[in-house]
Amino acid sequence: MNINWRNLILSAVYLGLVGTAAQAQVINFGPNVFLFTPSTPTATIQSTLNTLFAQQNNANTAQFGPNRYAVLFEPGTYNVSINLGYYMQVLGLGQSPDNVKINGTLDSHAFLPNGNATCNFWLAAENLALSSTNGYTMWAVSQGTSFRRMHVQNNVYLCEWSGSQNWASGGFLADSKISLSSSLVRAVSSAICLQSDLSRSMRRRRLPLICEAST
């Protein structure tokens, strides 16, 4: 008889955490972990995200602050805008990135003036499908960040194009599929997928990635 030990162990851990259904329905991961479901009111989710970002986006205070936050999304579709600050991690809980779809925005903008993202540290987005209402995802980051197991259905910018200097450096970007407009697919696929040294903001990314032109 074949036994799926992984599922068996996970089931045992789950039962040990929650006990019987009569005793507990929700696992409490503590005050710094936020678990959202499709039934959570959009206004509640957006308010939480806005509050976290307002607290965590200051390079002078939050960068060296004590707070750490994880935002978890159960499978479903969410119409929200996500800005990531220091020590913020956003994760989809589906088996595939396409199980959790964000219809809105998910961005990391430069924390320093003049489009300088060289202090955008310690943040992550994982296992999500993105369809941006802006038509792009801004991922201006530096070291200590990760962008992995993502299906991005729009353009991606790896530096803050609104500033005068557009600095970014480092970060981990891998195991993702990025659907780009045909005007950008050549430049970005060369810079990311082939790891060409075309731009400072596009260095130190990691493979594998799939870049394709959208239809």
Report pLDDT for 198.
Answer: 31
* Domain assignment of residue 55, given as a range: 27-213
**Residue, of 144 and 28, whose pLDDT is higher:** 144
* Residue 130 forms part of a structural domain: yes
Strand partners, 69: 88
Residue 15 lies in a domain: no
Which range has the top average pLDDT, 93-102, 133-142, 161-170?
A: 93-102
Is the confidence at residue 4, as pLDDT, over 70?
A: no
Mean pLDDT across the stretch 140-165?
84
Write down the pLDDT at residue 180.
67
Angle at 90 between CA 193 and CA 110, to 5 degrees: 65
Encoded amino acid at 205, one letter: R
Percent of the chain with pLDDT over 90: 46
Residue 2 lies in a domain: no
Domain count, the chain: 1
pLDDT per residue as tens digits for the range 49-82: 999 999 999 988 998 999 999 999 999 999 999 9
Q: What is the reported pLDDT for 207?
A: 41
pLDDT score for 31:
92
The per-residue pLDDT for range 172-211, each reduced to its tens digit, is: 888 888 876 544 444 344 344 323 233 343 444 444 455 5
Residue 137 lies in a domain: yes
Alpha-carbon distances, residue 137 vs 32, 45, 81, 161, 168 (angstroms): 25, 20, 11, 12, 15
Average confidence score pLDDT of the chain: 78
| pLDDT at residue 129 greater than cutoff 50 | yes
Q: Is residue 63 part of a domain?
A: yes
Residue 196 has a pLDDT of 29
- The verdict on residue 84 lying in a domain is yes
Give a yes or no: residue 39 inside a domain. yes
Q: Return the pLDDT at 210.
A: 52
Lowest mean pLDDT among 11-15, 66-70, 85-89, 96-100: 11-15
Report pTM. 0.75
Q: Quick check: is 167 in a domain?
A: yes
